[in-house]
């Protein structure tokens, strides 16, 4: 269905149909295939957080908003990888509720898919934590990379329960908006570019992405407990 405009994008009604069909496909896919794709998504989001940490290390002298914007744009790589490569990310998979609202899937199918994807994302994130630890990346920039991880993880752990849930909902809202808008695109570039600003917005604003935290917090725990003496000497 083509929109009646020179940009040849899908109209909102057509986007809703795409979301519905995507939800049916995800909810009825073989559970093991879903789990493997969820592991992949956990790795993709972890890669994006590594990009965020690398880009924001050493930016303490920059204006707060600019440094966060740079990090947010870098983090958008994660959602772009998930959407373009077909990985199953929990915070975008919640959109299968559209298929439930249309009566195309059951509550049981929805719940099983969400649980499968959530734990698959966790496995992928933890596997990437292990890989990053073995790489010794935390010593980059004379330990600045690892220090950035520690400070970022520590900040996340100081939210109250209500704050954490609220910030998680806000991040999920922006992820869903980004994915929903990507349904309007017809080319890879359309889909990728439309997702950058919603993701950059929630990262720059300090919203909490539950799957990203599956990488960041364990990475901080590992560095705090197992970093070499050289690391602690380097960061003072």
CA distance 108 to 106: 5
Confidence of residue 110 (pLDDT cuts 50, 70, 90): very high
How far apart are alpha carbons 89 and 53 in whole angstroms?
21
Residue 94 has what DSSP assignment? G
DSSP character at residue 103:
T
If one compares 12 and 160, the residue with the highest pLDDT of the two is 160
Q: Give pLDDT, residue 174.
A: 97
Q: Are 88 and 211 in contact (CB under 8 A)?
A: no
Ranges of each domain in the chain = 12-235
User: Which position has the token pair 């440094």?
Assistant: 67
Angle at 90 between CA 222 and CA 198, to 5 degrees: 95
Per-residue confidence band for 65, with pLDDT thresholds at 50, 70 and 90:
confident
Distance, CA of 159 to CA of 155 (rounded, Å)? 8
- Determine the average pLDDT of the residues in 64-70: 91
- Residue 8: pLDDT above 80? no
Instruction: Answer whether 152's CB lies under 8 Å from 53's CB.
Output: yes
Residue 7 has a pLDDT of 59
User: What span, in angstroms and rounded, lies between the C-alpha atoms of 222 and 133?
Assistant: 8
- Helix H or strand E segment including 158: none
Q: Quick check: 187 pLDDT over 90?
A: no
- Kindly tell me if the per-residue pLDDT of 186 is higher than 90: no
| Whether the predicted pLDDT of 214 surpasses 70 | yes
pLDDT given for residue 64 in this prediction: 85
Q: Can you tell me the mean pLDDT for 171-194?
A: 92
Q: How far apart are CA 142 and CA 164, in angstroms?
A: 32
- Angstrom distance (rounded) from CA 76 to CA 5: 28
Average pLDDT, the chain: 93
How many residues are listed for the chain in this entry? Answer: 236
Q: Angle at CA 60, nearest 5°, toward 59 and 61?
A: 90
What three-state secondary structure class fits 87?
Answer: coil
Pseudo-torsion of CA 42, 51, 225, 134, nearest 10°?
Answer: 80
Looking at the domain 12-235, which fold is it? Answer: Glycerol uptake facilitator protein (1.20.1080)
pLDDT: which is higher, 63 or 47: 47
Burial of 235 (0-12, 13-18, 19+ CB in 10 A): middle
End-to-end Cα separation, the chain, in angstroms: 60
């Amino acid at each position: 269905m083509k929109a009646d405009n020179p940009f040849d994008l899908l109209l909102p009604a057509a986007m809703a149909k795409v979301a519905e069909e995507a939800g049916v496909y995800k909810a009825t896919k073989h559970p093991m295939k879903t789990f493997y794709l969820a592991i992949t998504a956990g790795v993709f989001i972890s890669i994006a957080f590594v990009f965020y940490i690398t880009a924001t290390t050493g930016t303490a002298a920059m204006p707060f908003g600019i440094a966060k914007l740079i990090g947010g744009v870098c983090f958008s790589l994660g959602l772009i990888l998930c959407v373009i490569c077909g990985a199953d990310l929990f915070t975008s998979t919640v959109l299968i509720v559209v298929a439930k609202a249309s009566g195309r899937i059951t509550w049981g199918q929805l719940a099983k898919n969400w649980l499968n994807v959530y734990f698959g994302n966790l496995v992928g994130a933890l596997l990437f934590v292990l890989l990053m630890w073995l790489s010794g990346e935390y010593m980059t920039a004379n330990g600045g990379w690892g220090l950035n991880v520690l400070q970022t993880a520590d900040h996340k752990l100081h939210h109250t329960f209500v704050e954490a849930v609220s910030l998680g909902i806000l991040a999920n809202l922006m992820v869903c908006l980004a994915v929903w808008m990507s349904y309007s695109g017809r080319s890879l570039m359309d889909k990728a570019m439309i997702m950058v600003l919603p993701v950059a917005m929630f990262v720059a604003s300090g919203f909490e992405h539950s799957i990203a935290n599956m990488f960041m917090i364990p990475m901080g725990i590992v560095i705090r407990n197992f970093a070499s003496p050289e690391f602690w000497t380097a960061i003072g």
